[in-house]
Structure formats: structure tokens, C-alpha cells
Structure 1
Amino acid sequence: MKTEIRKVDSQGRIVLSYKWREKELKDNNEVIILEEKGVLKIIPKKKIDLTKFFDTIELDEDLLEKLENWSEFENYLFKKQYHDRS
């Protein structure tokens, strides 16, 4: 993991490094920002092949409730994917 100190301008903006943008964003210019207590995680927005999750998720009560709201379900999958990498 690389650590950098960046300044935040008066409008709350930061500049993401050129190397990171070239490597992670490529032709896309959207990111997902996960806000946790005292931390922001910036993740490149990528299309996810949901078929890779077929037959891999245990259907418990919590997950069944999330399936009722597709946005909540997607957020659950994003957090699970990136939390498991940490």
C-alpha cells in the first residue's frame, strides 16, 4: 500500500495521482467513495459480472432482506468484495 499526503482545496477536492488514474480508471472517470468513521475509501467504479456470484452466496435472512432493495444489495456486494481484500 502506498501512502501520500494530499491537500484538500477550499471546495473539498483532492487530486488523484496520474499513475493511479491510468492504472485503475483507464477510460472510466467514476469512482465509488465509501465513507467509514474517519476514513474515505476511493474505489474505481467497474462493471461487475454478477454471474460469478451465482451459487456462492448463502441465503440467510439478512441477505434476503437486502435483495428487496437492489441498491442495498449492490452496496453489500461491493463492501464484501473490498472488505475481504483488506
Structure 2
Amino acid sequence: MSQVKGEEEVQEMIKQVDGHGRIVIPKKWRNKHLKNNSYVVLKIKDGEIILKSHEPVDITKHFNSLEVDLKSDLADWDNIKRELLK
């Protein structure tokens, strides 16, 4: 089933839940909204189960680099370490 709400197209599908609580997300939906090995968020709101795609935040982009004002020669790691630990 497909319907339009405002400018957003809403698609619905009836799926059976298996004995282990699993459902199959249609391939077209997975290809469009999920990456391989991606995560989803399951939420219960007003008696409905809501499933949303989730992109984990890559926190490494926040600490792969660091700017510091050093007086030590970069070739002397012992002095750099002492200066950073002050």
C-alpha cells in the first residue's frame, strides 16, 4: 500500500512475524534506507512499534587530531610529553 501525506509518500506493508519475533524488511526498502550491517532503532509509542534506521556517530572524527601550542622540538618526544603533562 502506498499513500501520500503532504509531500511525503508513505508506504505500508503487512508482514508476518515468525516464531522468533523476526520480520523481513523488503529488499527495496533495505537498499534505500539501510546500509549493510546497519542498525535500526525500535521504539514503542502510543501503542505502535516504530522502526527507524540509525547511523552510529563516528566519534573518532572528534579525536583523531589535536591542536596544541608546543615550544618543544617535535623530534624530542620526552620534552613534548613533559610539556603536555604540565
TM-score relative to the length of structure 1: 0.49
Larger % of helix: which? 1
Higher CA-based Rg:
2
TM-score relative to the length of structure 2: 0.49
